[in-house]
Amino acid sequence: MKNLNICIAGLGNVGSAVVGLIDKNSQYIKNKSNLTINIIGLSAKNRDKERNFNVRDYKWIENPIDLLNINDLKPDILIELIGYEKGVSYELVKTALSQKIHVVTGNKAMLAMYGQELFRIAEQNQVSLLFEAAVAGGIPIIKTLKNNIFLNKVKKISGILNGTTNYILTTMETQNKSFEDVLHDAKKRGFTSDNESKLDIGGYDAAHKLTLLSTIAFGVNVDFNLNKVEGIEKITIEDINFVKHLGFRIKLISESFLINDMICSSTKPKLIPLDKPMANVDGALNAINVETDQLENLYLEGEGAGGLATASSILSDIFEISNNSKFTSIGYNINDLKKYQKFDSSNLESKFYLRIRVKDQPGVLSKITTYLNDSNISVEKILQTPDKKENNIPILIITHKIKTSELLNSVNKISDLEFVNENISIIPIE
Amino acid sequence: MKNLNICIAGLGNVGSAVVGLIDKNSQYIKNKSNLTINIIGLSAKNRDKERNFNVRDYKWIENPIDLLNINDLKPDILIELIGYEKGVSYELVKTALSQKIHVVTGNKAMLAMYGQELFRIAEQNQVSLLFEAAVAGGIPIIKTLKNNIFLNKVKKISGILNGTTNYILTTMETQNKSFEDVLHDAKKRGFTSDNESKLDIGGYDAAHKLTLLSTIAFGVNVDFNLNKVEGIEKITIEDINFVKHLGFRIKLISESFLINDMICSSTKPKLIPLDKPMANVDGALNAINVETDQLENLYLEGEGAGGLATASSILSDIFEISNNSKFTSIGYNINDLKKYQKFDSSNLESKFYLRIRVKDQPGVLSKITTYLNDSNISVEKILQTPDKKENNIPILIITHKIKTSELLNSVNKISDLEFVNENISIIPIE
């Protein structure tokens, strides 16, 4: 029989679900794993918010830092679910680790920015800093990489790591609505806030998660600056409809791989063929595909958000701490992590989808094709769609394979043409 | 730095891939995990078979039992890849465990039949008996259940667990060929043997694997007799084409869940809606979906067979042994496993697909519909397809939801009608 005393800082959806689960399943957990989890203290901004449990059943601590010493009792594990990259959460986690308290967190922003430092402090103090809940909600991708397939050489890891953007893209398609309308709905329904949506829609939240995946998959330093990040703000409903017609779906894809001993990590919209599982990941689901020297594809799909699913990941970290004597947070010793240079992805080849908006002048389509040809962009498919706005007609193009830098050069020239209206939209094809 | 001495019994595809991988990746493994894996002995039926490595680089042991004591050196781990449920492999594994040697095996038949005994011997001797390679090839589903989401209450586990049958079903559809033709091809190409194909096609191999999944998911005794098993022998190309037209694909589905404190474990063909990921699992891939109290769906897909992918699972077990001090093979103490009664699945409700072959008599379709109606089978869709054999016309039906036992009763009556030719084919719909 093992006893673990835990305290929880932050009681939003996930924190509340953790409390509820531990309460509801305590006997089940005891029977199944000989483990007793005692919640010895809770702390959050607002004590009186309505929650799925009665806060009075637990010891309430006003200042989260005091969770680390409750009447001279030191918790075994601090569960940090406050969020934000710096501030209270960072100080709290750092202090806990220094006091040899294990930390379980869902805070991807903090770890993407300060993980290198925090994992080192954990290692020095021989405690764990675990973060299954920080990446892909309920999908146990961290443990899969760190424990299950650690002796594989990972070649590439890619996935849909942000539920909000995936929900927006899915809803735009199913309801034939604009990006702005769907985002507005999502905010109104409380699915995302102004603050969150900036991180989500801009691709930063997914890039935070990819930073952590890259570290575990390739042993690269935790370094957010290795990421190239592009959001979904510019995706229009006509993009979605046109590419669907051609057998693709637009997804915000985060991917990371080693090339020429450098790392290429990007989060950006991509066109995924409809017959790939990743194209059919709907709503707030997340998915991850891992390619290794031993596995052509290992594909995981599940809930990327939600209190209960993410609480499952928190519990799995508690379980790991209860079982493990080695307490390695990321699989590697921190000094074995390597500094990699960022690979210049403009050297990569790909097919591309282009959307060019033009004035409705006679012969504009033939002018565009001539310019494309002169600019060495070889066209696989081209479509001019009818539009109400006569002076702003979209021309939609699928190119053959071309080096990104060459395409960008050519697109820049085309942008300068007087009958071309706005920025040309460019999305690579998987 | 940790040193593990291992020996390998059985050098087919998987065994050879394990030797090749450990040789090729030894430096990588050392760097990544501080682990050195020494192969101290090999044994297989035929020393001179051509393999991807030179057997002369390793110590060859004629009798596999002698692997357990090589010049007074006891291995840390025996890798058992001989196969077959009883015989050499069973004796070897039992002896190894009794001598406190960890065992890593890919032998699902042996474990499904004698796992309860063997896991107990492992526990008594405080060693591990690990078997990631026994279920779903390279997909780390055992560790996912045992380590990653162990504190979840599993509600249902279902999946495609046999690559050969899935390959046959996929190929029948893509090449529009009969079951017999595709099986013949597969044998000719060496994908499966007479011996193997009986276990594969009859559903037994998948049921062996489901037996192990049920134990880890629900804590039920390892008991193959809890399975209801039905193979794919009766699936015809017209079944496949007709259901595809209706938005389904036929898959051999293994599923297990608790109901009324009993266990319902079955392996049988089912119709899966095309928009579910499981319907799009092609060729020799495997897939598993887990539903728990915390996760609506956790879906894993990957290679279900193949030397390298399965070797990845063997390595992951070696890694677990190198890390773990607890050495629990199945997550539970063997005495905590529970004996469950088998739930009578004929009490379950489902929609069904029926294929009835009839003589070409005037008014036969109306006679059938009348009989269906009289037999309380409510029809959602019905199709009479043209056929060359005039006296053997297929009538294809999708029913509304009905209790399995009621359906079987009614179908029995219809079978007895003089214009009905052969056994009626019945496939439940997911």
**Tens-place pLDDT, residues B195-219:** 778 899 999 999 999 999 999 999 9
Q: Quick one: closest CA in B to A277, which residue? A: B277
Confidence of residue A423 (pLDDT cuts 50, 70, 90): confident
Same domain, A266 and A130: no
Same domain, B192 and B339: yes
* Percent of chain B whose pLDDT exceeds 90: 77
**3-class secondary structure, B18:** helix
**Tens-place pLDDT, residues A77-92:** 999 999 887 789 999 9
**Tens-place pLDDT, residues A24-79:** 999 999 999 999 999 999 999 999 999 999 999 999 999 999 999 999 999 999 99
Residues of B numbered 14-33 whose beta carbons fall under 8 angstroms of chain A's beta carbons: which are they? Answer: 21, 25, 28-29, 31-33
Q: Which of A174, A282, A294 to substitute to test the interface with B, most B CBs within 10 Å?
A: A294
Q: What is the mean pLDDT of chain A?
A: 93
Domain holding A234: CATH number? Answer: 3.30.360.10
Same domain, A213 and A104: no
Q: Is residue A224 over pLDDT 90?
A: yes
CB contact under 8 A, B300 and A303: no
With contacts defined as CB-CB under 8 Å, which chain A residues touch B33?
A: 150-151, 331
Same domain, A392 and A257: no
Q: Quick one: closest CA in B to A30, which residue? A: B151
Q: Is residue A410 over pLDDT 90?
A: no
Angle at B126 between CA B123 and CA B128, to 5 degrees: 75
> How large is the average pLDDT for residues A281-291?
96
Of A73, A104, A134, the residue at which a domain comes to its end is A134
Same domain, A130 and A158: no
Q: Per the domain annotation, does A327 fall within a domain?
A: no
- CB-based contact (8 Å) between B424 and chain A? no
The span from the CA of B338 to the CA of B215, in Å, is 9
Looking at residue A384, its pLDDT comes to 81
Confidence of residue A371 (pLDDT cuts 50, 70, 90): confident
* Percent of chain A whose pLDDT exceeds 90: 77
Angle at A251 between CA A249 and CA A252, to 5 degrees: 165
CB contact under 8 A, A32 and B140: no
> How large is the average pLDDT for residues A204-227?
97
Q: Quick one: closest CA in B to A305, which residue? A: B295
| Position with higher pLDDT, A367 vs A294 | A294
> Closest to B295 (Cβ–Cβ): which among A147, A219, A309?
A309
The span from the CA of B256 to the CA of B399, in Å, is 24
Q: Which of A141, A154, A295 to substitute to test the interface with B, most B CBs within 10 Å?
A: A295
Looking at residue A387, its pLDDT comes to 67
With contacts defined as CB-CB under 8 Å, which chain B residues touch A278?
A: none
Same domain, A232 and A271: yes
Listed residue (B314, B302, B404) closest to B16, CA to CA: B314
Check B209, B251, B268, B270 and give the catalytic one: B209
Looking at residue A363, its pLDDT comes to 82
**Neighbour tally for B344: CB within 10 Å:** 14
Q: What is the CA radius of gyration of chain A?
A: 24
The span from the CA of B57 to the CA of B44, in Å, is 15
Q: Per the domain annotation, does B176 fall within a domain?
A: yes
Number of domains present in the structure of chain B: 3
Phi, then psi, of A393 in degrees rounded to 5? -95, 130
Query: What's the DSSP call for residue A51?
Result: -
Same domain, B93 and B238: no
**Tens-place pLDDT, residues B355-372:** 998 888 888 888 888 888
Q: Is residue A122 over pLDDT 80?
A: yes
The span from the CA of B303 to the CA of A153, in Å, is 16
A142 to chain B, closest Cα gap in Å:
9
Beta bridge partners of A403: A349
**Tens-place pLDDT, residues B127-154:** 999 999 999 999 999 999 999 999 999 9
Looking at residue B70, its pLDDT comes to 92
Q: Per the domain annotation, does B312 fall within a domain?
A: no
Looking at residue B388, its pLDDT comes to 67
Q: Is residue A163 over pLDDT 90?
A: yes
**Neighbour tally for B17: CB within 10 Å:** 25
Domain holding B73: CATH number? Answer: 3.40.50.720
| Position with higher pLDDT, B384 vs A298 | A298
- CB-based contact (8 Å) between B144 and chain A? yes
Torsion region of B39: left, alpha or beta (phi above 0 gives left; psi -120 to 50 gives alpha)? beta
No. of helices (H) and no. of strands (E), chain A: 13, 16
Q: Per the domain annotation, does B324 fall within a domain?
A: no
Q: Per the domain annotation, does A380 fall within a domain?
A: yes
No. of helices (H) and no. of strands (E), chain B: 13, 16
Same domain, A151 and A183: yes
Confidence of residue B377 (pLDDT cuts 50, 70, 90): confident
A356 to chain B, closest Cα gap in Å:
33
Question: Which residues does B196 contact at the CB level (< 8 Å), separation at least 6?
Answer: B164, B205
Residues of A numbered 314-343 whose beta carbons fall under 8 angstroms of chain B's beta carbons: which are they? Answer: 315-316, 318-320, 323-326, 331-332, 336
Domain holding A403: CATH number? Answer: 3.30.70.260
Of B81, B107, B134, the residue at which a domain comes to its end is B134
| CB contact at 8 A, B39 and B7 | yes
Q: Per the domain annotation, does B319 fall within a domain?
A: no
Q: Per the domain annotation, does A312 fall within a domain?
A: no
Same domain, B241 and B372: no
Q: Where are the alpha helices (DSSP H) in B25-107?
A: 26-33, 88-98
Looking at residue B422, its pLDDT comes to 77
Same domain, A78 and A179: no
Residues spanned by the domain of B150: 141-302+335-345
**Tens-place pLDDT, residues B323-338:** 876 778 999 999 999 9
Phi, then psi, of B51 in degrees rounded to 5? -135, 170
Q: Per the domain annotation, does A156 fall within a domain?
A: yes
**Tens-place pLDDT, residues B31-81:** 999 999 999 999 999 999 999 999 999 999 999 999 999 999 999 999 999
Beta bridge partners of B8: B42, B79
Same domain, B127 and B148: no
Confidence of residue B159 (pLDDT cuts 50, 70, 90): very high
Question: Highest mean pLDDT: which of A416-420, B153-157, B190-194?
Answer: B153-157
Same domain, B199 and B292: yes
Count of alpha carbons within 13 Å of A7, Cβ hemisphere only? 27
Least confident of A277-291, B243-257, B366-380: B366-380
Residues of A numbered 145-174 whose beta carbons fall under 8 angstroms of chain B's beta carbons: which are they? Answer: 147-153
Of A134, A168, A189, the residue at which a domain comes to its end is A134
Start-to-end CA distance of chain B, whole Å, equals 50
Q: What is the mean pLDDT of chain B?
A: 93
A314 to chain B, closest Cα gap in Å:
10
Q: Is residue B91 over pLDDT 90?
A: yes
Answer positive or negative: Cα dihedral of B394, B400, B405, B410. negative
